[in-house]
Amino acid sequence: MPITLGELAPKLNATLASGDPARRIEGVSSLADGDERHIAPFTDARYLPQLKQTRAGAVLAQDQAVAKDLPSGTALLCTADPELALVTALQLLYPEPEERPEVHPSAVVEAGAELGTGVHVGPYAVIRAGARIGGRSWIMAHAVVGRRCVLGEDCRLYPHVVLYDGVMLGRRVSVHAGSVLGADGFGYKFRQGRYVKVPQISTVEIGDDVEIGANTAIDRGALSPTRVGAGTKIDNLVQLGHGVTVGRHCILCGQAAVAGSARIEDYAVVGGNAGVADHVCIGKGARIGAMSGIGTDIAPGKEVFGPWAQERRKAFREIAAVRRLPELFERVRELERRLDKESPEAK
């Protein structure tokens, strides 16, 4: 969706510091790859070499002082928050394609399912009896919405998403391709030489404005629901076990795994490939580093890292010390050789 710089600047809460307001911008690109049709962000001094050589038609930056480093003919838009302005530019220039409000002839909508106004149901999608789909929601190809599921307005289920019976989504929830919400929690009891399955009779509840990445699995609770709070963002390939509670505005990065009945409080961040043991509580605003193992509660606001979930700075100091071990071993051996030569026995 092309737009002139003069039209774009106020939409980004930016000032056109230099350049032709009539120049048309058609897209967003990096400093290295842009051409005269693009606007490119400059958000870090380490990209200064790229800034000096960019062919982008306009640059989005915080400080007007960068004008001296711009190539001739490149316009400059200044704003207090270039990263947020970049998000707005992407939304303006790359609007999400609209799906037609229709039910595809190959879709299956069982009797008793309710579809709100403007709902799109794609090819081979299935909506079971008793499900309620909020207005303007999209159920894309091969997605399955189980019995008694409830979706708020403006939800997006991408291809091959599966919602088991009774799953509840708030408004503006996006679930990306291949994700499964509401499968049985992993609950078994070992009795008389075999594992006995514990029925998982609860469900999954997702708050407003949650985004769930591709191929993520969120299991239903055994007795109480698995819950994800409003505004939380979950990456691809994340596993939430039965009865987990995730607070509001949390971040869970790819391949993180959270075991049953663990609790993650508001604004916490769990790094990629981290593992959280069952019944552990991660406090409000805590940050868990990538590949960390969390076996005990983490206090609010604390940053931890590593297999033993140490305080972040201490863990990094230990890693640095481990890297020096070969050098230290060699120095010790050299000292031993000197002592051997100087000892009375050697003489």
| CATH superfamily of domain region 3-93 | MurE/MurF, N-terminal domain (3.40.1390.10)
- Domain positions in the chain are 3-93, 108-312, 316-342
Which are the catalytic amino acids? 242
Spell out the per-residue pLDDT of the chain, length 347, in tens: 789 999 999 999 999 999 999 999 999 999 999 999 999 999 999 999 999 999 999 999 998 889 999 999 999 999 999 999 999 999 999 998 889 999 999 999 999 999 999 999 999 999 999 999 999 999 999 999 999 999 999 999 999 999 999 999 999 999 999 999 999 999 999 999 999 999 999 999 999 999 999 999 999 999 999 999 999 999 999 999 999 999 999 999 999 999 999 999 999 999 999 999 999 999 999 999 999 999 999 999 999 987 766 666 777 777 777 778 788 888 888 787 888 877 766 55
What is the 3-class SS of the chain, one letter each residue? CCEEHHHHHHHCCCEEEECCCCCEECEECCCCCCCCCEEEECCCHHHHHHHHHCCCCEEEECCHHHHHHCCCCCEEEECCCHHHHHHHHHHHHCCCCCCCCCECCCCEECCCCEECCCCEECCCCEECCCCEECCCCEECCCCEECCCCEECCCCEECCCCEECCCCEECCCCEECCCCEECCCCCCEEEECCEEEECCCCCCEEECCCCEECCCCEECCCCCCCEEECCCCEECCCCEECCCCEECCCCEECCCCEECCCCEECCCCEECCCCEECCCCEECCCCEECCCCEECCCECCCCEEECCCCEEHHHHHHHHHHHHCHHHHHHHHHHHHHHHHHHCCCCC
CATH code of the domain made up of 108-312: 2.160.10.10
